[in-house]
Structure formats: C-alpha cells, structure tokens
Homo-oligomer: A and B are copies of this chain.
Amino acid sequence: MELLKSHRTIRKYKATAVDKDILTDILESGIRSSNTGNMQLYSIIVTRSIDKKADLAPFHFNQPMVKEAPLILTICFDVNRFKSWCLLNNANVDFTGLLWLLNGTIDSSILAQNICVAAESYGLGICYLGTTLYNAPEIGKVLCLPEGVIPITTLAIGYPELVPELTDRLSLDSVVHYEEYQNYSVKAIREMYEFKEKLESSQKFVAENGKENLAQVYTDVRYKSADSQLFSKKLLDMLTEQGFVFE
C-alpha cells in the first residue's frame, strides 16, 4: 500500500545492472496478472544490450533514460503466438476487431503495472515511455516483431539515481463518482484545477512557452492536435496493414 502511494516516475538511473534472478521474479509477477480468457495475448521484449538501446532511443525521442536505464522492457499485444497454436489445431481465430485491440491493450497494461509494482518492491524505479505508441512501427522493426505483435508501452527500469518529489494529483473527489457520473459545474472545474495552475512549476511552463495559461501549454505545446493526428494515422496504417478492421 505504502509502495503504491509513494510511486514516483524515475528519470535518472544508476548504472548498476539488475540481477537476473530479480528480473525473472519481476517478470513472473507480471504474468500472474489477470488476462482475457487466460490466452496471454502479450509478449515482453527485454532490451539490455547497449546497441539495441541505441537503436530504440531515437524512436523514444532520445529521452536519456532509454540508454541510461539498465533494463528496457517493451510490452506488446501479441496475437502471433496464440494464432500459430490455433492454426496448428485447425481453429480460426479472429482478433482483427477494435474489441481485441482494446482487450490486448488492457491486458498488456495490467501486465506492465504488475511488473512496475514488483520492480518497486525490489527498490527499483520505473518510467513508462508513452512514446511507444508514437513510433510503434519503427520500434517493431528494431525488435524484429512479426505480424500480430504490436508494441503498447515500454518500461525503463533501474536503481534510482534521483528520486523526485511526489507529483500532484487532483483530489480523489474530482475523479471518483458514486452510483452515477455527476457532471462538473464550471465552478467545480475551476476549483479543482486551481491548485495545479498555481504550482510554481506550472507558472514556469506557462512563462517559458509564452502561453496565457496552463491548459494552453497542454494543448498548444505538449499535446498538439497535429501530432495526435499524425501519430494516430501512423498507428491506423500499421494496424490496417496487419489486418485490423476499423469500419
């Protein structure tokens, strides 16, 4: 419980390698997580070699932890293995619909989070690399993923060199609803985001980027519509090429 509540994303790692037995234990904890129909539609690609990390780095926008963390785990939605087994058994599996893309994303994420909790219980630190979906086709090539294996998320794992402050969160009341969703009044929205807007770090972001307010830093700088459209199109093209259906 305390472990979960004290979670920080670690962006600076010691060079210390992660012991093989610890890695095995962490991965074992990962695959004990719940998954759809116990089909285990996922694969984990472990990257420890300096060369492979260098190959992956540009597709994670050269975030330093890709090269610095001793362990990089790419968590993939994998229908290739299960489909191969079905084909050998004269059984036709169809995972081409959006339902399965989302099921696979859920199962891969649950697995990833179990790996994070297990890693943290060993004193390791983790960082999720959301860049995985931005450059899934290129990451797939680096890791030699066959058709039916889609990178969903990546974890950098290692012993923390720097442990940052706990990041802020909206109050629990702001994200939890009882029995029915209670939509937010303008007043409620203003009040719940006020502390965030007033954080020193937020005000620095706003000034540095020459924006009017924090929300504009999110929409005009960090998560631009043009980027969302570009990367969504890349994902759609890759998935459609692999037989996924979006109509």
The residues of A with any CB-CB pair to B shorter than 8 Å are 1, 4-7, 9, 24-25, 27-29, 31-34, 36-40, 42-49, 52, 78, 80-81, 84-86, 88-103, 105-106, 108-110, 112-114, 116-118, 121-122, 126-128, 130, 133-134, 143-146, 149, 152-153, 167-170, 172, 174-181, 183-184, 186, 189-190, 193, 212-216, 218-220, 222-223, 225, 228-229, 231-233, 235-236, 239, 245-247
A-B complex: 8 closest residue pairs judged by Cβ atoms: A97-B232, A89-B215, A109-B109, A94-B225, A91-B215, A113-B113, A4-B29, A246-B246
- A-B contact list, 17 entries, CB within 8 Å: A4-B32, A4-B114, A4-B117, A7-B33, A24-B172, A31-B175, A37-B218, A38-B169, A49-B179, A52-B180, A84-B189, A88-B190, A91-B220, A97-B228, A102-B133, A106-B152, A109-B109
Residue from B6, B52, B105, B245 in contact with A109 in the complex, judged by beta carbons closer than 8 Å? B105
**Chain B minimum-CB-distance residue to A169:** B31
Chain B residues positioned under 8 Å from A52 (CB to CB) = 179-180
